[in-house]
Structure 1
Amino acid sequence: MPFARLASATTPTCHIGLGLAAVGRPGYINLGRDEDLPESRSVDALRARTHELLDAAYFQGVRYFDVARSYGRSEEFLADWLSARPDIDDIVVGSKWGYTYTAGWTTDAEKHEVKDHSLGTYERQRAETAAILGERLDLYQIHSVTPDSPALTDKELHARLAEAAAQGTTIGFSTSGPSQAEAIRAALAVTVDGEPIFRTVQSTYNALETSAAPALAEAHDAGLTVIVKEGMANGRLADPYAPEALKAVAAETSLGCDAVALALILRRPWAGVVLSGAATVTQLASNLHAAVVDLDEDQLNRLAELVEDPQEYWTRRSSLPWH
């Protein structure tokens, strides 16, 4: 598996990855993003911002980079960066299929992405990703699997995914919604010729939404690499939006709310990679401090009180505006 490369990494930030959802397209749902990005969100402006972030992340020890077909031009921006730095050969690149970007490089589209987990969409998007990332793609994930996703029952799709795995591409899936645990357990049961096809799972887990934890522990025990997304709850755990309890603990550590929020996830024994979704180099640097945050039992107990009901959490997330 490509994530075995991280096992020999010596930097404390090697288990923090960089996701490009917030900078691969002009619109996204992170709080504060309207101030984080330049007024001009042209393709060239966001390409430059992405390359700046990738340079800073790599220099500071980050070795996993996460994109998706629906993240605007994220695959293209990452491929451009890699082409300009052919000596970089120690990173892991993951992308996702299952959503099609439909916003046309605007921030006020009626729909920014359309979900479809059919075999036809896989074949189309796999070809698109291959044309952009080529052999640099290590991991290809189904984007946002839910318990009712046809990707969990489509035997022909499973056979195609197994073919891709046999050719050297690691196959994974991501989850979203209040039933993440159910989706994870259903995906763990998917096999081809008696062999599991999924080797990674990427799920939302943070100080507010912890419901997937038991299933993620089961996935880890089954040998999957666990990637945690939305550790900042789309900005709700960053200054100035963070809950007062988180702000208090952050003040005690002399670090940012974001570093504490991500450190809480890094403590989980099943967490293989925790994604930063930084939109600025300053945010990224602050996020990376998570690797050195030390939380005591009292602080952990206070942060545990922040957990929300999953249905309420996901209802609020779905109401966040696109910036």
Structure 2
Amino acid sequence: MSLREILPGKLGFGTAPLGNMFRAIPDAEAAATVEAAWQQGVRYFDTAPFYGAGLAEERLGEVLSAKPRDEYVLSTKVGRVVLDEHETDVPDFGEKGGLFEHGNPNKVVHEWTAEATERSIEDSLKRLRTDRLDIVWVHDIAQDFHGDAWLQKFEEARTGAFRVLSRLREEGVIGAWGLGVNRTEPIELTLALDEPQPDGFLLAGRYTLLDHEHALQRLLPMAQEQGVGMVVGGPYSSGVLAGGTHFEYRAAPPRIVEKVSRLKALAADHGVSIKAAALQFSLAHPAAAAVVAGATKPSRIAEDQAALNETVPAAFWHRLRAEGLVSPAAPLPNGA
């Protein structure tokens, strides 16, 4: 089943911030944000055990358990298993190392084996208070691994998670599966395999106004050729495109700050909000089935919905291209 057949709309709610990413969020604020997403008509919710060592799943499940299960689509991830024991050392998650220091204290380990995949799904179902998952993403293969190490982990996922998820899809236990990553190489390698294929992929941070060149070169043509859809994660590039200071989970470097300033100035010249530019650009590619934006405040959901529906003049998109702010190969919204 294709992603477009499963997903209920163009805008999804990403729950990484509900895992206390960057800051501790009160439970009431987290619940109010999920409720605001529901009231604004959002019906696709994406989460992961990694987000706060299960905290995001717990918070999401608490709110969604009161909603009709047939009225929303839910995706979570496998590849990082939350253990019962508490972390005593600083966890080594590379570029994501300090993201969830305010999350649950449980230890989280990398593992994409068949056994870990089945355990992860079982644990997620409990935290989410549901009896089924619509989509399962294989999370962050290649993240934090260098040289040949990521290929070893990919092989672990190929013989473990991929085959388990393919079987569960065939059995009707899950609706679809794919990769949820912030690098293009694992998806390209997966699409080249002569094995049961994923239904789609969630690509975080690699198809945004600030970073899209690499995805356009190889991955997206492959995806289109095979009819595999993309969910765009991180459309605001860790927040720097939405008024934040982070890019790639760290303080934005000067070159990014300068590019964002140029984008905002151009948007202001055309009366366009930067959020509208970010969301609509990411959705303009034919492979894009939906975009997932995170939030920790209820007001942000209405902003995202408004940005999605904002009228952006073609002249703005042409200026972006003329000034070299987007790739000439990137499709522009509304055929601009």
**TM-score bin (small chain):** 0.7 to 0.9
For residue 91 of structure 1, report the CA deviation from its aligned partner.
1.5
For residue 110 of structure 1, report the CA deviation from its aligned partner.
11
Partner letter of residue 59 of structure 1? Q
Residues 103 and 111, structure 1, Cα contact 8 Å, conserved in 2: yes
Matches within 5 A, 1:220-239: 220-239=224-243
Residues 2 and 138, structure 1, Cα contact 8 Å, conserved in 2: no
Give 1:56's aligned residue. Answer: 36
For residue 114 of structure 1, report the CA deviation from its aligned partner.
4.3
Separation in 2, partners of 1:150, 1:118:
9
Matches within 5 A, 1:47-196: 48-72=28-52, 73-85=55-67, 87=68, 89-100=70-81, 106-107=101-102, 114-133=109-128, 134-146=130-142, 148=151, 150-152=153-155, 154-168=158-172, 169=174, 170-177=176-183, 180=184, 182-192=185-195, 195-196=196-197
Paired residue secondary structure (1:89)? helix
Residues 95 and 140, structure 1, Cα contact 8 Å, conserved in 2: yes
Paired residue secondary structure (1:273)? strand
For structure 1, which runs of at least 5 residues remain unmatched after alignment? 29-33, 35-39, 309-323
Paired residue secondary structure (2:65)? helix
Separation in 1, partners of 2:134, 2:103:
33
For structure 2, which runs of at least 5 residues remain unmatched after alignment? 89-99, 143-149, 246-256, 328-336
Give 1:22's aligned residue. Answer: 17
Structure 1's 293 and 60: CA in aligned 2 closer, same or farther, altered over 3 A?
A: same
Partner letter of residue 60 of structure 2? L
Partner letter of residue 47 of structure 2? V
Identical residues among aligned pairs (%): 26
Partner letter of residue 174 of structure 1? G
Q: CA-to-partner distance for each residue in 1:217-244, whole Å, 9 max, x for gaps?
A: 4324422231001110101112265612
Give the counterpart of 1:212 among 207, 211, 215: 215
Separation in 2, partners of 1:108, 1:57:
22
Give 2:95's aligned residue. Answer: none
Partner letter of residue 128 of structure 1? D
> TM-score with structure 1 length normalisation?
0.75
Q: CA-to-partner distance for each residue in 1:226-272, whole Å, 9 max, x for gaps?
A: 10011101011122656122212332454532222112112222110
Partner letter of residue 286 of structure 2? P
- Alignment size in residue pairs: 281
Partner letter of residue 150 of structure 1? K
Separation in 2, partners of 1:94, 1:286:
23
Separation in 2, partners of 1:122, 1:107:
25
For residue 189 of structure 1, report the CA deviation from its aligned partner.
2.7
Deviates more, 1:223-232 or 1:242-251: 242-251
Q: CA-to-partner distance for each residue in 1:166-203, whole Å, 9 max, x for gaps?
A: 122111111224xx1x32221113354xx42x112011
For residue 140 of structure 1, report the CA deviation from its aligned partner.
0.8
Q: CA-to-partner distance for each residue in 1:260-303, whole Å, 9 max, x for gaps?
A: 21121122221101011122122222222232234445422443
For residue 112 of structure 1, report the CA deviation from its aligned partner.
8.5
Separation in 2, partners of 1:292, 1:149:
43
Separation in 2, partners of 1:161, 1:290:
35
Q: CA-to-partner distance for each residue in 1:96-146, whole Å, 9 max, x for gaps?
A: 111245769743999985433333422321221133344341111100233
Separation in 1, partners of 2:180, 2:152:
12
> TM-score with structure 2 length normalisation?
0.72
Q: CA-to-partner distance for each residue in 1:7-44, whole Å, 9 max, x for gaps?
A: 7x6xxxx2011000011x2233xxxxx5xxxxx64xxx
Separation in 2, partners of 1:260, 1:156:
39
Structure 1's 286 and 20: CA in aligned 2 closer, same or farther, altered over 3 A?
A: same
Paired residue secondary structure (1:135)? coil
Residues 49 and 76, structure 2, Cα contact 8 Å, conserved in 1: yes
